Structure 1
Amino acid sequence: MAGTPSRDITISAIAAEAGVSAPTVSRVLNGRGDVAPATRERIEKLLRTHGYRRRGHRSRDRVGLIDLVFNDLDSPWAVEIIRGVEDVAHQSGAGVVVSAIHRRATSARQWLDNVRTRVSDGIILVTTDLDPSLKEELRDLKVPAVVIDAVGVPDLATPTIGATNWSGGLSATEYLIELGHRRIGFVEGRPELWCSRARMDGYRAALEMAGLTVEADLIASGEYTYESGFQAGRSLFAGEDPPTAVFVSSDQMALGVYEALRQRGLRVPDDVSVVGFDDLPEARWSSPPLTTVRQPLADMGRMAVRTIQRIVRDENIESSRIELATQLVVRDSTTPPNR
């Protein structure tokens, strides 16, 4: 665990304790590769132990650099959030460092060590779950943090930005019920994510309010990827009494369901109606264009940066949990059932 950050610790003191020169410590801080691995590890351990953070000379009321951290960057969903963050950061003259930790402790450790060596004014964590010891170190750095789409129950001590996932799930399912569908499948996302649970709860609530039974064989699991949506689609339509409509927790997974249906010789929406969630750019260009729940991803990124800016300026944050509205967008992938 990192020690309490000290105002007195210097590069020279770290160098003396490590038995190296001050320029060697500087090379480690600057990410240079010309330092022996064992020496680098010894210096980085001392930096963590002493809670060292490089000093900057920025004004207290100005954000100069923001760290934006994802688990993965292989989704258009991440691109939309980056677009929103960059929009506000650029207007205020701030830089953005984008990182992906790939749900690996070693990558998260490397990222945190990099944060320690630069003057980061704020951190935006997107669906990212850090090891408890790393969370403690992050708190020790005293860098303002904002979370987008929290993992697990949101931490009330950290501002959280999300969308109205429950009402989005409710409206998507209610729309399918209004079209006349009664066997409505659901593809859930990663269950550890707060947003995934809320979409599932919205789906269940709509069915229950309509007097319909929530059936386990109509629910399949996914990982917010095209491939997992394809596998979930294959699972849902392998039985003798498949659904006539499917609500899918993300557009990417919905497009995977499209392919699973195509391979079974089923047509969207003639045989099966499909609703996604996110409203990514490809949703309107898919064939047929996808009915989906629009999630204001870019606005979530913008709100996260503005929240960081307010914290840096010591302004009051009215609520630790901000939810932006979702909206059902009806396109051509839904129609009344033909059976």
Structure 2
Amino acid sequence: MDGSPDRTVTLRTIAAAAGVSVSSVSRVLSGRGDLKRETRERVLEAARALEYDASGPHRGRPTVLDPRLIELVLGSFDDAWTDAVTTGAREAAFRLGFDLVLTLERDDPADDWPTRVATRRPSGVIIGIIRPTQRQLDQLRGLRIPIVLLEPRSDPQGELASVGTTDWQGGYDAGIHLIESGAAGFVVVTGTPPYRFGRAREEGFRQAIADHRPESPVHHVNGRWTDAVVTEELLKTLVSAPTPTAVFACNDEMAFAVYRAAGRLGRRIPDDIRVVGFNDEPRAATASPPLTSVQQPLREMAARAVELVRDLRHRDADHFERVELPSALVARGSTGFGTGDDVESAPGAPSQ
């Protein structure tokens, strides 16, 4: 084959290659019905091998049956991040005349969320944080509906539409702010695995230090994105770092682990340790002292993802540019501002 999709390949050809019935092939490629996972995988693998163009000339356009329904797929629905995303998506969906369905990515590999999506045949799918596997994408593409990634863990390389925030700039702003706070040493705490957004935030922070305090090393500490704990690595780093120590945590969860570490070491925030987080969760403003954090426009990001679903239903695209909405640093007591004051810096500008 010459590498181009072969539109002469029929469902019967795929059925013969996969060893299943023609009706089973039709159900897999159209996303209808509930078939065994092994059957779906054999059909999709045969279709790929035969270079079958499942989308044809109407790729990206809605199916005949359009329920005006958008699926929001998330790994959980029990934290501040998902609360804000769900609210933003719901408000935008209702404003644009869609209903919103919340779909959970469960731990059970046999309970595959694309099958549940296919059963409902929505107008589009928004996938938050998680990056679907190639097999899952193949199944979703068979539905010929828009797919939008919301702050994906890895870079989709233009293959899918995606929406996020200015992670690199947010890290840079955090670095500038901590430099201006008069810190003597710098520490960055980032989560494992090293997701795309975590790398971008750390790179932005390091660039700010390199630009304005090139003589100062930046110490790296590994943390956990969720359920962050105080580690020996964190304690040793804080003990050995010059005082006052500036810590940029790549999310608020890890920033609060720094708070707990400071308490164990008898260090005061912000006198001895100055902390900036990322996400600006609601509890950031009520912490003691209130946490300086880089605010993501989560509701706006989710709303933009809904708008992209609407737009992509009526046009084709082979390459997608990432949509980024600006972050903003909100300065509070953890970096020396009065505990009652929130000072929001303009995106990309140093804190004053």
Distance change >3 Å, CA 207–CA 40, structure 1 → 2: closer
Distance change >3 Å, CA 228–CA 248, structure 1 → 2: same
* Structure 1 position 72, deviation (Å): 3.6
* Structure 1 position 124, deviation (Å): 1.1
Alignment partner of 1:138 out of 131, 136, 140: 140
Question: Structure 2: which 5+ runs fail to align?
Answer: 1-6, 13-19, 24-31, 48-53, 55-61, 338-352
For 1:110 and 1:187, how far apart are their aligned partners in 2? Answer: 33
For 2:36 and 2:315, how far apart are their aligned partners in 1? Answer: 36
Residue pair 2:185, 2:216 contacting (<8 A) in 1 also: no
Greater alpha carbon shift after TM alignment, 293-302 vs 69-78: 69-78
* Structure 1 position 285, deviation (Å): 1.1
Partner residue, 1:75: 79
Alignment partner of 1:209 out of 199, 211, 216: 211
Letter in 2 for 1:95: L
Residue pair 1:160, 1:321 contacting (<8 A) in 2 also: yes
- TM-score in terms of structure 2 length: 0.74
Distance change >3 Å, CA 192–CA 7, structure 1 → 2: farther
Partner residue, 1:89: 93
For 2:135 and 2:45, how far apart are their aligned partners in 1? Answer: 13
For 2:22 and 2:10, how far apart are their aligned partners in 1? Answer: 19
Structure 1 residue 274 corresponds to structure 2 residue 275: yes
* Structure 1 position 328, deviation (Å): 1.0
Identity %: 28
Deviations 1:314-338 (A, max 9, x none): 38899621110111111111139xx
Partner residue, 1:286: 287
Deviations 1:154-192 (A, max 9, x none): 331211111111111111111111121130111113454
Partner residue, 1:252: 253
Residue pair 2:163, 2:301 contacting (<8 A) in 1 also: yes
* Structure 1 position 143, deviation (Å): 2.3
- TM-score in terms of structure 1 length: 0.76
Matches for 1:50-199 after TM superposition, within 5 Å: 58-59=65-66, 64-91=68-95, 92-102=97-107, 106=109, 110-190=112-192, 192-199=194-201
How many pairs were matched up?
Answer: 306
Distance change >3 Å, CA 149–CA 93, structure 1 → 2: closer
For 2:331 and 2:170, how far apart are their aligned partners in 1? Answer: 13
Distance change >3 Å, CA 317–CA 304, structure 1 → 2: farther
- Describe the SS at the equivalent of 1:180: coil
Distance change >3 Å, CA 215–CA 70, structure 1 → 2: farther
- Describe the SS at the equivalent of 1:116: helix
For 2:232 and 2:190, how far apart are their aligned partners in 1? Answer: 12
* Structure 1 position 303, deviation (Å): 0.5
Deviations 1:255-281 (A, max 9, x none): 121112112222211221111111111
* Structure 1 position 112, deviation (Å): 1.5
Greater alpha carbon shift after TM alignment, 233-242 vs 251-260: 233-242
- Describe the SS at the equivalent of 1:237: helix
Question: Structure 1: which 5+ runs fail to align?
Answer: 10-15, 20-28, 32-38
For 2:131 and 2:309, how far apart are their aligned partners in 1? Answer: 19
Residue pair 1:69, 1:101 contacting (<8 A) in 2 also: no
Letter in 1 for 2:251: S
